Amino acid sequence: MLKLFFSMFVWVLVNPCSQVVATQLPDNKKTENNTPRVVSLAPHITELLYAVGAGKNIVGVIDGSDFPPDALKKPIIGHYNLLNWEQIFAVQPQLIIAWGSGNKHLLGGKAEQLGIPIIYSEPKTLQDIADELIRFGNITAHKVEAEQVASDFKQHWQRLASHVKKQSLKQKVAILLNINPIQTLNGRHLTSEIIEQCGGENIFANAKVIAPQVNFEALLAQQPDWLIVTEPTFLKQLTGRWQSLKAVQQKKIIMVNPDHFLRQTPRILLAMETICQKLANTAISGKEQ
């Protein structure tokens, strides 16, 4: 699963996504209860649809759509780099929701040729997640549920952020998506906003690409206060030269579930809670000193 995420991140994420707002579908693209049969082409899209109560609308998902557990029962119509069009047509979708910079290039005009509407999803901020919940709710006739979920999401994130601001002490943070080679994320990725909201600073925020590979010397020069890692096995690899990092020496390493931290869904707040708590504790001790 982690390899799937890495592959997704190193795709052409720098390309802007064409946002198509489609709150209404043509009459011939609706089911009897005016809700479309949806194919989801990204794990985060599947999660967002379930979050607004539209799980029953989903008739096909991409491999890796594993939350909530019911998503595992959905027909798999492709992988992150290959779609099975025979399977897609077999489930008779009335709407395809794709990840703009992740797999837009796989569509190749085939869906349009058969008259299947396509919209794209690419949340890049916490506010975007809330907005996407509303949009998916409108599209699938779950407006009321979506508005409630979006409201709860915003209140939760703002509560976490306001608590941090009261004891803010800017701390340098490095995200480690991979150890060998070292791969991180820059400031254009949503995870950087999470770090900032928690009172931290992404040391590679100014990197030119979203998921750059960096050398160890760059890490050493920055001397991050914290390391965020997404794989438990990384901990066993932080030996040798890694011991020259004060974050490793002081065991200031934050382990997060990649499904929480890297997907643009309400579950990202679970990772935010962990990160905020760790950084807040350091902020408190720093002020006491």
Q: What pLDDT was estimated at residue 168?
A: 56
Q: Tell whether the model's pLDDT for residue 212 goes beyond 70.
A: yes
pLDDT over 60 at 13, yes or no: no
Identify whether the C-beta of residue 136 lies closer than 8 Å to the C-beta of residue 119. no
Average pLDDT, the chain: 85
Gap between the Cα atoms of 237 and 262, Å rounded: 22
What CA–CA distance (Å, rounded) separates 7 from 63? 13
Q: Is the pLDDT of residue 103 over 90?
A: no
Nearest to 45 by CA among 89, 87, 78, 12: 78
Are the C-beta atoms of 275 and 253 separated by less than 8 Å? no
Domains and CATH numbers, the chain: 2-153 (3.40.50.1980), 167-288 (3.40.50.1980)
pLDDT at 167: 55
Coil vs helix vs strand at 265: coil
Per the DSSP assignment, residues forming a β-bridge with 183 are 178, 213
Report which DSSP code applies to 68.
S
CB 42 within 8 A of CB 143: no
**Residue 287: pLDDT above 70?**
no
Mean pLDDT within 112-124: 87
